Structure 1
Amino acid sequence: MKSSPCELMQSLSLFSQKYLSQYQERYQHLPLIEKDEQWPSPCLSNDYDENHQYWQPSEISDPINFDNVEKALEITIHADFKTYFTTLYSDTLDASCDEGALSLLFAWSKDDFQRLQENVIGHILMKQKLKQSLTLFFALTDDDNMILSVNNDNGEIWVEKVGSQAHKKVADSMVSFIDMLTPRIP
């Protein structure tokens, strides 16, 4: 099942706003991240102290896409997966749903998006080598061996053990999955 890009962008934006709101309610400030001069991001804002900076999800304004991955591997990546990773720059956002705790993955910056593309290529090649249905990961679970993935054929959201076939469907689409999440503030 495919969501409209606008619906998915709205769901991601709404979830990130809920996350920030709940974080600020608990700590009275934006989320913090350790300073790293080698890892700039549009998500970063002012200094919190000498070792930490405030950050928040940032809408992606520069044109990024998966065209090079699709061309190199001669595949078409599901539109929901592409929209998900080209909507926001962010650190991971922790969440929970009926299935348990998870962390939504995002690119931190344009440079990190390139690294993400390399990981996606490796994942696709592994799936092809194992002759498994193509799924594309976008979240980690509280079990280090389990990930959440988009089924590339139909956009359904599945749990799968790393290196194994997806084994449990959790949502019909990315929008329905994101809409069922509750922010989990550390």
Structure 2
Amino acid sequence: MKEVIKAYFERFVDKWMEYNNSLPKIVWNEDVAEFIYSGTEDEYGYISWKPMEKSMKFNFDEIEGQYNVQLHNSVKEYFNSYWFLELTGWISSYNVNLHPVIPGIEPDYFISLVKDYVESKEFTFKYIPIGYESNGMLLVVNNNTGEIFVEDFELNEYKKIANSLESLILHLKFKDE
């Protein structure tokens, strides 16, 4: 997982530099640990950032113990690989945004999302939310197989878009690719 994420960010930063001649930028957030930022906030409230390999690992024991469940290993690997503020791209006809791993905010925010999602699903852990697509539908990981689906909440339908989280990230394209 770590190598796939590293390769994605190498491509992402290269594309950003090609079009903007800078590192990726995002709106500055005071809750984010400052080490991920590079430079200073601009006049529009944006600041450059760069993905950083993690040395500190999240412990998912609290949520796993509370619900007596094991999260799929790919979810744990994803959250323990890099700090980053954005991971987006196209796969098939879907413009997807994976959940960022934000220093100073994670894993608490992700765990609260999972708890809310699981409670809405009557405490079943079949799927774990990992992001969303541009039309507002959730991206979820099948907690047994690791496959990635787009969830249509209103129809209670799931469309498979990747065999794994690694495969999804590996095959993400940027708008002009």
Distance 1:166 1:91 in 2: 29
How much has 1:184 moved relative to structure 2? 4.1
1:114 maps to 2:108: yes
1:149 maps to 2:140: yes
How much has 1:156 moved relative to structure 2? 0.9
Cα deviation code 1:26-70 (max 9, x no counterpart): 101001223333432432121153533210112222121211110
Of the three residues 7, 11, 20, the one matched with 1:27 is 20
How much has 1:141 moved relative to structure 2? 0.5
Distance 1:163 1:88 in 2: 33
Name the structure 2 match of 1:79: 73
Distance 2:27 2:162 in 1: 34
TM-score (norm 1): 0.84
Q: In structure 2, do the counterparts of structure 1 residues 151 and 25 end up closer, same or farther at CA, with 3 Å as the change threshold?
A: same
Distance 1:183 1:71 in 2: 38
Q: In structure 2, do the counterparts of structure 1 residues 41 and 153 end up closer, same or farther at CA, with 3 Å as the change threshold?
A: farther
Distance 1:29 1:47 in 2: 13
Structure 2 unmatched ranges of 5 or more: none
Say if 2:54 and 2:82, in contact at 8 Å, map to a contact too: yes
Name the structure 2 match of 1:46: 39
Q: In structure 2, do the counterparts of structure 1 residues 150 and 41 end up closer, same or farther at CA, with 3 Å as the change threshold?
A: farther
Deviates more, 1:82-91 or 1:42-51: 42-51
SS in 2 for 1:72: helix
Of the three residues 149, 171, 175, the one matched with 1:180 is 171
Q: Which amino acid aligns with 2:25?
A: L
Q: In structure 2, do the counterparts of structure 1 residues 12 and 107 end up closer, same or farther at CA, with 3 Å as the change threshold?
A: same
Say if 1:158 and 1:166, in contact at 8 Å, map to a contact too: no
How much has 1:127 moved relative to structure 2? 2.0
Of the three residues 64, 89, 103, the one matched with 1:70 is 64
Distance 2:56 2:27 in 1: 25
Name the structure 2 match of 1:89: 83
Name the structure 1 match of 2:131: 139
SS in 2 for 1:71: helix
How much has 1:78 moved relative to structure 2? 0.4
How much has 1:167 moved relative to structure 2? 1.7
Structure 1 unmatched ranges of 5 or more: 1-7
RMSD across aligned positions (CA): 2.1
Say if 1:160 and 1:167, in contact at 8 Å, map to a contact too: yes
TM-score (norm 2): 0.88
Count of residues in correspondence between the two structures: 175
Q: In structure 2, do the counterparts of structure 1 residues 39 and 164 end up closer, same or farther at CA, with 3 Å as the change threshold?
A: farther
How much has 1:180 moved relative to structure 2? 1.2
Q: In structure 2, do the counterparts of structure 1 residues 163 and 128 end up closer, same or farther at CA, with 3 Å as the change threshold?
A: farther
Larger RCO: Structure 1 or Structure 2 (Cα < 8 Å, ≥ 6 residues apart)?
A: 1
How much has 1:82 moved relative to structure 2? 1.1
